[in-house]
Amino acid sequence: MKIAFFSTKPYDRKFFNECNAGFGHEITYFETRLVRETVKLAEGFECVCVFVNDRVDASVLIALAAQGTRLVALRCAGFNNVDINSAKELGVSVVRVPAYSPYAVAEHTVGLMLALNRKIYWANSRVKEGNFSLDGLLGFDMRRRTVGLIGTGKIGERVASVLSGFGCRIIACDKMENPVCKEKFGVEYVSLDELFRTADIISLHCPLFKETMHLINGETIAKMKKGVMIINTSRGALIDAKAAIEGLKSEKIGYLGIDVYEEEEELFFEDKTFEIRTDDVFARLTTFPNVVITGHQAYFTQEAVSSIAQTTLENISAYESGGDLTNAVVPD
């Protein structure tokens, strides 16, 4: 198939070119994001391949369909940036990569917990400056701390696996209980309110829907323990960033680790070193000494990117051959 790849970087081209040797698709790479203003670039392509910050809303889908595109291939798990209902109405199929490497995201999640708890980022900076003082670097034992997981799918399950090895008490909230989490890792399922009230660490592993938009907000933060640690490696809009700032200022939130941000599409994956930062909320977040931010890199391991390439091209080949689209995204 003729495929237009949007939001690509050198590493995308490397992994997809290597993988495509076994598929033989005709790939054209674009660095720009797919938005209404760039949709013309996809003219004549049967398939567009998009990432987390491409905007595939109704207007983009209408333009794509008019230009001959019949397949939108997401090279990620989340699909909140695609208007699934409009795609169905227009006869455009949507496929995704539901699982690439839950280990990658889970390990990054726990890495953020440890970096915040043990102040590893500050300690490293101090030592490089010749400051070997321990003042301000006091952490806590993870053992016996209560960790609340919101979402226990493949990634949440792997986080539970790692934390169970630390000796943490793990509680969780999910519409569908994961029997592996309960039976193998001792996870106790509780209500969302109880999780907010009792967890020392809260880690988000749920998708972004209307029901989960700004799940962490002023009202829910007020229910939490003073000094709570919040980790988000899922979707940026799960956290109301302005409410998080107020929580940090009041010290209700003692630690915040995020790999995603609600308005990240204008920031992440680009080098903004010499640009003026116009997002005042993000700029404020970077001023707190107890906040660690990474630029949507939790997924970014050799194994994960290889898996993403393989599954994406398999999805496209299945569509081309008229086979079953096991990874199709359809309206509820």
Task: Spot the catalytic one: 55, 108, 205, 296.
Answer: 296
Look up 235 and say whether it is catalytic.
Answer: yes
144 burial (CB, 10 Å; 0-12 / 13-18 / 19+) is exposed
The one catalytic residue in 96, 108, 169, 235 is 235
Which among 46, 157, 262, 264 is annotated as catalytic?
A: 264
Which residues, in sequence order, are bridge partners of residue 216?
239
* Cα–Cα distance, 285 to 37 (Å, whole number): 30
CA distance readout (Å), 40 to 44, 67, 121: 9, 8, 44
Residue 205 annotated in active site: no
For residue 242, the Cα-to-chain-centroid distance in whole angstroms is 19
150, two tokens: 């919101």
Non-local CB neighbours of 50 within 8 Å, separated by 6+ positions: 6, 7, 34, 56, 72, 73, 74, 75, 81, 82
What are the catalytic residues?
235, 264, 296
